[in-house]
């Protein structure tokens, strides 16, 4: 049975070639350090972390085989989104990344599909780049951060991007930055900016899209949220209560938020069987897909083995998570 992974990060080889030559990559410079060292942008150091993040496509394929993954849907490593760049520079970064991903999908069409990165700091430019990525390069959609330079996705100027993605049938995969979130602004004790911070951002994104009326405006929009949407599903009762008692929560939607939770897709990176069972029971088994968070989450011994081992899931639920839902969602 084929397995498809929606959540697989990529630092492109064009960045590593620039670093090896002692050059910057779209304003990002390399600083030596433990492991792969650091990427430095806007005065911030981002640990490049896991040694696999530098893998060539061929090395990546070997690792996928060991993990039982037949196809990865690759997307940019989130710290290098670079939404701080001027629009034209953002276009150039996106072109380099998207062209490299498209090359991987052409050379290994049965092993890789791709999500573009967009210059989301400029919505018009983002629409142009998405159109090129989907309709010329054959990518399946785009990965986006949870907010862009302080702008959340319910702002009116963002709606044209959602409309465009809907018309193209493009998937928008939302993923937060582990080193730039609300929890990190308060504390980084115990590593909770990653373990809790990213999932807080996931839940905020879900609430923002729902309360913002995005799924009423774009009923056929394809959206997937990383890490099972964080605690969003668990918190739907409170979101519904807020909708009932606060008039500002009803400005854009006429139905309680929980009625919209099955408009989204969610990956299975929730790290416990009870959490995955809860998610399936509340959003439906047709809305949960396989994610590995490659290469940053250590699985024992692989995400595929983990899903297959879960006693509370039926075989049909496992089949949907491992391949069926993404085959339909991405037209693979």
pLDDT value for 20? 95
Cα separation, 129 vs 275, in Å, equals 36
pLDDT value for 178? 67
Q: Which of 138, 104, 76, 64 is nearest to 330 (CA)?
A: 138
pLDDT value for 181? 60
Query: Contact 93/85 with Cβ under 8 angstroms?
Result: yes
User: Going from the N-terminus, what domains does the chain have, and what CATH number goes with each?
Assistant: 4-12+55-330 (3.20.20.140)
Taking the complete model, does pTM exceed 0.85, yes or no?
yes
Question: What 3-state class would DSSP assign to 128?
Answer: helix
Cβ neighbors of 187 (< 8 A, separation 6 or more) are 193
pLDDT value for 186? 72
Paired strand residues for 173: 143, 224
Cα separation, 205 vs 152, in Å, equals 8
pLDDT in tens, the chain (332 residues): 799 999 999 999 999 999 999 999 999 999 998 888 899 998 888 888 788 999 999 999 999 999 999 999 999 999 999 999 999 999 999 999 999 999 999 999 999 999 999 999 999 999 999 999 999 999 999 999 999 999 999 999 999 999 999 999 999 999 998 666 666 667 778 877 777 778 989 999 999 999 999 999 999 999 999 999 999 999 999 999 999 999 999 999 999 999 999 999 999 999 999 999 999 999 999 999 999 999 998 888 899 999 999 999 999 999 999 999 999 999 99
Q: Assign residue 295 a region (left: φ > 0; alpha: ψ between -120 and 50; beta: otherwise).
A: alpha
Helices (H), the chain: 13-20, 57-67, 87-107, 123-135, 159-168, 182-186, 192-195, 197-211, 214-217, 236-245, 273-283, 303-309, 315-319, 325-330
Query: Contact 73/140 with Cβ under 8 angstroms?
Result: yes
pLDDT value for 101? 98
Query: Contact 52/295 with Cβ under 8 angstroms?
Result: yes
Q: What is the DSSP letter of 85?
A: S
Query: Contact 72/59 with Cβ under 8 angstroms?
Result: no
Cβ neighbors of 34 (< 8 A, separation 6 or more) are none
The answer to whether the Cα torsion of 294, 125, 42, 100 is positive or negative is: positive
pLDDT value for 127? 98
Helices (H), 212-272: 214-217, 236-245
């Amino acid at each position: 049975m084929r397995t498809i992974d929606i959540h697989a990060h990529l630092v492109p080889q064009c960045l590593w070639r620039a670093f090896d030559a002692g050059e910057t990559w779209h304003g990002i410079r390399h600083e030596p350090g433990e492991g792969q060292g650091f990427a430095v942008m806007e005065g911030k150091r981002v640990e490049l972390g896991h040694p696999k993040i530098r893998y060539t496509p061929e090395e990546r394929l070997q690792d996928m085989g060991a993990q039982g993954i037949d196809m990865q849907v690759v997307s940019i490593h989130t710290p290098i989104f670079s939404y701080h760049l001027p629009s034209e520079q953002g276009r150039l970064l996106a072109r380099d990344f998207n062209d490299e991903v498209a090359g991987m999908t052409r050379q290994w069409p049965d092993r890789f599909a791709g999500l573009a990165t967009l210059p989301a700091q400029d919505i018009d430019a983002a629409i142009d780049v998405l159109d090129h990525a989907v309709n010329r390069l054959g990518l399946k959609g785009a990965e986006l951060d949870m907010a862009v330079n302080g702008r959340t996705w319910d702002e009116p100027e963002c709606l044209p991007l959602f409309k465009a993605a809907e018309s193209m049938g493009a998937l928008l995969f939302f993923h937060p930055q582990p080193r730039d979130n609300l929890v990190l602004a308060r504390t980084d004790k115990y590593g909770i900016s990653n373990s809790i911070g990213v999932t807080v951002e996931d839940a905020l994104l879900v609430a923002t899209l729902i309360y913002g009326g995005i799924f009423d405006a774009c009923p056929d929009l394809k959206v997937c949220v990383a890490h099972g949407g964080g605690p969003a599903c668990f918190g739907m009762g409170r979101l519904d209560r807020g909708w009932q008692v606060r008039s500002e929560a009803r400005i854009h939607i006429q139905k309680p938020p929980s009625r919209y939770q099955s408009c989204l897709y969610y990956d299975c990176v929730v790290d416990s069987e009870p959490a995955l069972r809860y998610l399936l029971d509340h959003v439906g088994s047709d809305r949960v897909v396989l994610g590995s968070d490659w290469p940053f989450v250590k699985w024992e011994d692989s995400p595929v083995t983990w899903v297959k081992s879960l006693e509370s899931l039926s075989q049909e639920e496992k089949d949907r998570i491992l391949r069926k839902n993404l085959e339909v969602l991405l037209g693979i």
